[in-house]
Structure 1
Amino acid sequence: MFYRKNLPVWERTTRVVAGAAMIACGLLGLQGLPIGYLIAGTGAVAIMTGFIGFCPMCALAGRRLPSP
């Protein structure tokens, strides 16, 4: 199934960078704590949506990119 991208390039870049920081903080800053794993998992989802360019929550809210 193909999804139409609903994230602009600047937000995709921000999601990848912020996701990497969340993973680092979750796994290195909060070693062995459940909240650290939760933060790292959230960072992985942020990176994934940044690479794909589609965010399901933004789609539920009706967010779309302008047509070229």
Structure 2
Amino acid sequence: MFYVKNVPTWERALRVIVGLAVVAWAVLALGGLWGTVVALSAAGIVLSGLFGFCPACAMVGRKLDKANR
């Protein structure tokens, strides 16, 4: 891997679940341009949950200890 995971397992699951819910809400309830913008933003949150790496967390120096991997 070219990156080090910086999101704990419990947070990864939460990001995927909440991100998918927001994508569904944006597509069904908002629609149009705003729905697309919100859905794409939420898709980024889902991807960070799937990969276990968050670029924003990396920029502020967040690192996992060995117990949370």
What's the TM-score once normalised by structure 1's chain length? Answer: 0.91
Give 5+ residue unaligned stretches, structure 2.
Answer: none
Partner of 2:20: 20
Q: Distance in 1 between matches of 2:14 and 2:61?
A: 21
> Which has the larger helix fraction?
2
Q: Distance in 2 between matches of 1:51 and 1:15?
A: 8
Root-mean-square deviation (Å)? 1.1
Give 5+ residue unaligned stretches, structure 1.
Answer: none
Q: How many residues were matched structurally?
A: 67
Q: Distance in 2 between matches of 1:37 and 1:31?
A: 7
| Runs of 4+ off more than 6 Å | none
